[in-house]
Amino acid sequence: MKLAVLGASGRTGALVAHLARGRGHHVTGVVRTGNGRDHVADPLDPDSLAPAFAGADAVVSAIGPRSARKPTSVLVDSATSAIAAMRLAGVRRLLVVSSSATAESGDTPVVAALVKPLLRSVFRHAWADVSAMEPVVRASGLDWTLVRAPMLTNGPARGRYRVQEERSVLGGLSLSRTDLAAFLLDRVEDPESFGKALAVAY
């Protein structure tokens, strides 16, 4: 397949691009600044993104804020821009990395009553951004999938994880970036995941 990966210079996006190439896919990595290999584009400018999406079978967005504790709208703004660019390029399949913090059910009582409210307070700017992003993706009219990730680690892939639709993975607090990247790629051609928010965790 031909895949466009937004945020290909980030820790998760780089793994998505690397694993995709290893599976034989043609990958266009989309980055903010030039590195001599990937496509340089402004993720907030649809006209800048559209050439990178031309001919793609799917777009994977692994963009994240540079600081979770500072005001940011990078997730909602980049999703809005990517959706507009996909319409310009005629691409329908979109996968976006989101956060397990957005799920309103499926948690243990302690996580629901104490942990999530604390995290949403400490990381309120990132929480506001991801909360604004998900409705934009849902309303896009595209073949979208939101992949809600927990705390991400740099640990090795386990190849085993749990998945829940529209709810949290009970007790699932972490996931390696490598397993997240593999999960994203496994869903690219999975029509059963269209129009769904999937939480994935150990």
| SS3 assignment for 107-173 | CCHHHHHHHHHHHHHHCHHHHHHHHHHHHHHHCCCCEEEEEEECEEECCCCCCCCEEEECCCCCCCC
pLDDT at position 108 over 90: no
How buried is residue 57: exposed, middle or buried, by Cβ count under 10 Å (0-12/13-18/19+)?
middle
Which element (helix H / strand E) includes 6?
Answer: strand 2-6
pLDDT at position 81 over 90: yes
pLDDT at position 101 over 90: no
What is the pLDDT at residue 116?
Answer: 85
pLDDT at position 36 over 80: no
- How many helices (H) and strands (E) would you count in the chain? 7, 10
pTM beyond cutoff 0.75 = yes
What is the pLDDT at residue 47?
Answer: 96
Summarised one tens digit per residue, pLDDT across range 140-194 is 999 999 999 999 999 999 999 999 999 999 999 899 999 999 999 999 999 999 9
What is the pLDDT at residue 195?
Answer: 98
Average pLDDT over residues 112-125: 86
Summarised one tens digit per residue, pLDDT across range 14-31 is 999 999 999 999 999 999
User: Per the structure block, which two tokens stand in for 88?
Assistant: 């310009």
What is the pLDDT at residue 121?
Answer: 85
pLDDT at position 67 over 80: no
Q: What is the CATH number of the domain that holds 130?
A: 3.40.50.720
d(CA 76, CA 82): 10
How many separate domains does the chain show?
1
Q: What confidence tier does 57 reach under pLDDT thresholds 50, 70, 90?
A: very high
Residue 10 sits in which domain range? Answer: 2-201
pLDDT at position 3 over 90: yes
143-149/162-165 β-pairing: unpaired
Torsion sign, CA atoms 89, 79, 60, 138: negative
What is the pLDDT at residue 69?
Answer: 76
Which element (helix H / strand E) includes 193?
Answer: none
Residue 51 · residue 59 · CB < 8 Å: no
